[in-house]
Amino acid sequence: MATAAPSDADRPHSGLPASPEAVVVRFAGDSGDGMQLTGGQFTLSTALAGNDLATFPDFPAEIRAPQGTLFGVSAFQINFGSREINTAGDAPDVLVAMNPAALKVNLAALKPGGLIIADTGAFTKRNLDKAHYDANPLEDGSLAKFDVLAFDISEKTIEAVKPFGLGNKDALRSKNMWTLGLALWMFDRPREPIHDWLKAKFKSKPDIADANIAALDAGHAYGETAELAGPLKQVHIDPTPSAPGLYRTVTGAEAVSLGLVAGAQLAELPMFFGGYPITPASAILHHLARLKEFGVTTFQAEDEIAAICAAIGASYAGQLGVTSSSGPGIALKTEAIGLGIMTELPLVIVNSQRGGPSTGLPTKTEQSDLYQAVYGRNGDAPMPVIAARSPSDAFEVAIEACRIATQYMTPVMLLTDGYIANAAEPWKVPNPADFEPFPAQFLTEPRGEELLPYKRDEKGARPWIKPGTPGMMHRIGGIEKHELTGNIDYSPDNHQRMTDLRKAKVDNIAVPDQDVCLGETSGKLAVVGWGSTYGPIHRAVDNCRANGMDVSHIHVRHIWPMPSNLGDLLRGFDHVLVPEMNTGQFKTVLRDQFLVDAQPLTKTSGQPFQIAELEREIGKFFDGVPGNEGGQVPANDQQLPSTDGGAK
């Protein structure tokens, strides 16, 4: 598309300017090359330099895929700049390729005119064969439309660590640090934080720490001193203007864990976390396992089912039960979720979504568990569902999940995804004192003459009675129960009432009104998102608005129940476009709940949306947009939902 104002996608491509607004760098190498580590440390130094940033770790499901192969390529992309950054960037400006396979897999993403930094030492005949290259792309002219900086990083690394007496194989393990050193020089980043990190990481092996520091310094010095005419030059990026305060970087998995700890404190409850290893959810178990001093018990169960059942058992006994998994594991937990709904006990279920169905794409991101979250249980089993939109947002959303679970005596599902779980962004450290506490209440004596474990409060919640409380003995279970006593009751009227009460309780959960995060509250087009599509939608809508398009961005946190004003809000727009990384699940829920003509924009490639593809789709709704004369979507608010998948 051609637009008046520059977007991320169509910035000039004549190499990097000396002071760009934002830069996208992708580090790519073999799974064993330490690219995630390199990216993580580059992220830290970038954050410390005061730039806003977003990252996208993209790695294979295999732990150590065969060396040099195409499917063994691991990449880490970072977008950083002096302005607000919403996504990890559509296309890299700089590609660091540690071997031929990394080049081959990632070249298509690179911007025309972008810079390739390649290690010639790894472009051996053997590696070229493994990457299915007939000729060396660094030499055959096939990279003519890019800037190429190719030299023997392997050799230079071996040279740099020679004084430490390491064998070649060990020496080459520092290759990533050499490369990181060069990248630090390129973007004028301090080395000290990385020095400190290496010293701490290899505390018990000071030799290894020193070797890595030497490699890092050598890479940095190479940039500084090499008389290189051509593409290598230092780029300066100003710090991003940000609200004053203390900042750190945070991944979604960290933010969820911290939010759960905060939520349990606000509820004044110890937390019990039942988990079972699964990608990409395990990181939450790992984080919480180190926070025992906060009254956290972590339990690695024998399977996903036991993990949730133990969490429900802990909630039954008076703690805040939490479990976490990804799609296939959530499927296994489904029956127990139903019991949590039936017995009306608090429970937080974190679903870090990944590509499905079945095992699907364990390390790739998707939003295709929305139906599973909202509808995926036997019986009429209503459950609140909320979704985090970014790594830092996950902190607040986790607190909200704890609040709803304990205040309404219900399981709550918190949706994140592989992208949010792994990606890092700067985070203004919140002050726990700013959050309103919501202390859990336990019933210790009957409210009237008789003990009625299912008599509801004004919110529709039943009392929480801990075993061990004298005089309050009662029985609960998954069988339909009397609406007051909780005793087994199969009678038709009672089941009707209990079904209605369970539904009403969840329907009436107090959810804040939906706001419009960018643009007007009515107009031509609303782009409605949920979860991790926040970044690309926000940037795309911002760019389109700069081009004069009447488009607003609405991002929904409360998936179920939805904000009560959402229907009216959507009806104020001629069109509603719902981009999501599935086949249109939220679109269907919106249509069902509000009878609005929500149009889907779907993607299930395992990769996040790119800003440019969203801009292209938004543009189709507007007349007079260059390249879109007449508009492909008629501006007719009476338009009925199309049957062919809409505006896709």
Site residues (CB under 8 A) for another protein, limited to 411-440: 429-433
User: Phi then psi for 574, rounded to 5 degrees?
Assistant: -65, -40
Q: How many CB atoms lie within 10 A of CB 103?
A: 28
What's the closest the beta carbon of residue 239 comes to another protein, in angstroms?
7
**How far apart, in whole angstroms, are the C-alpha atoms of residue 42 and residue 57?**
12
Report 606-635 residues binding another protein (CB under 8 A). none
Is 241 one of the binding residues for another protein (CB under 8 A)?
yes
In the region spanning residues 258 to 287, those forming contacts with another protein, defined by CB under 8 A, are 258, 261-262, 265, 270, 272, 274
Stretch that binds another protein, among 132-140, 236-244, 417-425, 626-634 (CB under 8 A): 236-244
Position among 1, 37, 48, 221 found at the interface with another protein (CB under 8 A)? 48
Mapping DSSP onto H, E and C, the string for 427-467 reads EECCCHHHCCCCCCCCCCCCCCCCCCCCCCCCCCCCCCCCC
| Contact stretch for another protein (CB under 8 A) within 47-55, 94-102, 175-183, 552-560 | 47-55
Within residues 69-88, the interface with another protein by CB under 8 A covers 84
70 closest CA partner among 129, 24, 125, 112: 129
Q: Which two tokens stand for residue 210?
A: 């020193």
* Least distance from another protein to the Cβ atom of residue 62, Å: 27
| 8 Å CB contact between 115 and 16 | yes
3-state SS, residue 71: helix
Measured distance CA(554)–CA(594) in Å, rounded: 15
Task: State the binding string over 453-492 for another protein (x if CB under 8 A, else -).
Answer: -------------xxxxxxxxxxxxxx-------xx----
Interface residue with another protein, options 141, 167, 245, 627 (CB under 8 A):
245
Of residues 249 and 367, the one with the C-beta less far from another protein: 249
> Do 175 and 157 meet the contact criterion of CB atoms below 8 Å apart?
yes
* The total number of residues written for the chain in this structure: 648
Which CB atom, from 65 or from 405, has the smaller least distance to another protein? 405
Smallest gap from residue 450 Cβ to another protein (A)? 11
Q: Does 546 bind another protein (CB under 8 A)?
A: no
Site for another protein in 298-317 (CB under 8 A): 299, 301-303, 305-307, 309-317
216 near 177, Cβ under 8 Å?
yes
Quick one: 164 or 435, whose CB is closer to another protein? 435
Interface residue with another protein, options 136, 297, 494, 593 (CB under 8 A)? 297
Provide the mask over 194-223, with x wherever binding to another protein is found by CB under 8 A and - wherever it is not.
---x--------------------------
Instruction: Pick between residue 87 and residue 343 the one whose CB is nearest to another protein.
Output: 343
Amino acid at 412: V
Of 100-108, 173-181, 241-249, 565-573: span binding another protein (CB under 8 A): 241-249
Query: Which residue from 151, 164, 202, 294 is in contact with another protein, where contact means CB under 8 A?
Result: 294
The residue among 181, 15, 221, 199 whose CA lies nearest residue 113 is 15
According to CB under 8 A, which one of 268, 335, 457, 520 is a site residue for another protein? 335
- Quote the least distance from Cβ 108 to another protein, whole Å: 34
One-letter identity of residue 435? F
Taking CB under 8 A as the criterion, which residues in 167-196 touch another protein? Answer: 193
Q: How many CB atoms lie within 10 A of CB 210?
A: 16
Structure-block tokens of residue 274 = 């039942």
- Which CB sits closer to another protein, 23 or 47? 47
- For residue 315, the minimal CB distance to another protein (Å) is 8
Q: Which of 151, 164, 202, 247 binds another protein (CB under 8 A)?
A: 247
In this complex, which beta carbon is closest to another protein, that of residue 473 or of residue 635?
473
* Interacting residue with another protein among 25, 47, 116, 596 (CB under 8 A): 47
Q: Does 376 participate in binding another protein (rule CB under 8 A)?
A: no
In the bound state with another protein, the residue whose beta carbon lies nearer, of 335 and 507, is: 335
Measured between alpha carbons, how far is residue 350 from residues 271, 308, 325, 373 in Å? 14, 11, 6, 10
Which of residues 15 and 430 has its CB atom nearest to another protein in the complex? 430
Alpha helices (runs of H) in 524-647, residue ranges in sequence order: 534-546, 566-571, 585-594, 611-619
Cβ of residue 468: shortest distance to another protein, in angstroms? Answer: 5
**CA atoms of 251 and 410, how far apart (whole Å):** 27
The least distance separating another protein from the CB of residue 93, rounded to whole angstroms, comes to 24
Instruction: Give 95-150 as a 3 state SS string.
Output: EEECCHHHHHHHHHHCCCCCEEEEEHHHCCHHHHHHCCCCCCCCCCCCCCCCEEEE
| Among residues 9, 98, 184, 336, the one that binds another protein under rule CB under 8 A | 336
- Using left for φ > 0, alpha for ψ between -120 and 50, and beta otherwise, residue 68 falls in left
Taking the complex as a whole, how short is the minimal distance between the CB of residue 319 and another protein, in angstroms? 4
Interface with another protein in residues 550-609 (CB under 8 A):
none
Nearest distance, CB of residue 545 and another protein, angstroms: 17
Q: How far is the CB of 188 from another protein (least distance, A)?
A: 16
Instruction: Give Cα separations from 37 to 32, 33, 117, 373, 622 (angstroms).
Output: 11, 9, 18, 33, 44
Closest contact distance (angstroms) between CB of 464 and another protein is: 13
Contact 88, 56 (CB under 8 A): yes
Cα angle 475-476-477, degrees, rounded to a multiple of 5: 135
State yes or no: residue 246 binds another protein (CB under 8 A): yes
Least distance in Å: CB of 89 to another protein?
A: 20
- 525 neighbors 574 (Cβ within 8 angstroms): yes
- Nearer to another protein among residue 274 and residue 531 (C-beta): 274
Cis check: omega of the bond before 641, within 30 degrees of 0: no
Residues near another protein (CB under 8 A), total: 76
